[in-house]
Structure 1
Amino acid sequence: MKNYQSDAIYQGLIDEMCAFIKNNIDVNEIEYISGGERRDWFFSLIIAKFLNKPHITIYKDLAAVVSIDGKTEELRKLNGESVLHIADLITEASSYERAWIPAIKNNGGRIKWSVVVVDRKQGGGELLKSYDVESFSMVDIDIGLFRRVLDMGLINKEQFDMIERYILDPKESMAEFLRKNPDFIKEALAADDKTRERAKLCIEKDFYGLNIG
């Protein structure tokens, strides 16, 4: 609340998100609002407060607590209640599939809607649809946006071409990048904890079929 009261940009965004939700979803049907560790919480907690809904705080290990009327306790069994999940952005919706949807489902509830500030149009919306989650975004980032940015002179043609390749085929674009930059993963493994964790996951899952490591 202190940040909301002192930061005009944050306040404006939260107000817009609340209005967006009211314009697109019947608020009376929302029984809980959830947010996932950690960035989602900057949006979901305060919106839950303004919409007067209990908040489910979800952790990456699928643990969850619920906050109601200023009291927080471990999430008990839900009885099929409908949940609105709020996040900053969506790409491939891997966090939803891995953690947010299972955490609610395991407790007897259902994420019925997802509202994000930005959809990067990388298949996340389609994945959520396959889980019967209605996906809403305030801003879509697609190739049309970057064409306008190019026309404005904010990026050059080489940068635009790189972005376009990534949007058209993210997996092959990244595989090509890693083939051309063999030291990238090595440097990532020697970086900060978060970067190192992501690099290890990339190697373990072999996302790009390069058999790295």
Structure 2
Amino acid sequence: MTIDITNLSPTEKKEFIAQARELEKQEKEQRAKDMQALEDIAKEVVPASFALLQEASDNLAKAKAQVFRDFRDYLLLKIETMGVKSNQQTHTVSFNNQSVKLGYRITDGYNDDAGYGLAMVHRFLGTLAKDDNSKKLIGALNRLLQKNGKGDLDSKKVLELRQIADRDYPDTDLQRGVEIIQNNYSPKLSKWFVEAWQVDSTGVEKSLPLSITAVNLPEDVDLTFLLPKED
């Protein structure tokens, strides 16, 4: 019901304003109580949850270290017996229907001098801008020089650019620049990892979740209230 305050008497207006102010006061007090309730819940659950997650993280770290210790003799013997190359990044060991994969990942990286090669490449590309076709070519070549989120070039794309330079633009600043970039390639060790999986009775390969994100929640944990509702 909408009330037209202009139709109220002075006394009724005062009562209406007083009621509105009282209602506003009550709403502010209720919000303050709700905010305090949220803070009280956070005070209780954040430390407890953090401690639980810290324990899970510590246990994963211990398990990861133990797995590498357990496989040390196996990997040393494998390298000696099978002549495995020292730059092999992963090793998969299987028994019956279970497999464990150990190794390390590297991320692309380049020394500062790669910047000189990059400048030569861009200078050469600038000489190609003559018509629409050449602009399209420049766009395609520039995409091979796009940097990732960490500001590094993609070594696979640089290799692709080198192949184009060797084939189509020999003895040019493009070829020389890409060569400088490749000569300054300096990959960095990213992380040591462990993965595991097993093949079930139906022949389906199922990975063992080893991160808290990958682990499925039990079916009795209902979080649908957090999902967007359909209009």
Q: Which has the higher contact order (CA 8 A, sep 6+)?
A: 2
- Structure whose residues are more often helix by fraction: 2
TM-score normalized by the length of structure 2: 0.18
Larger Rg over CA atoms: 2
More strand by share: 1
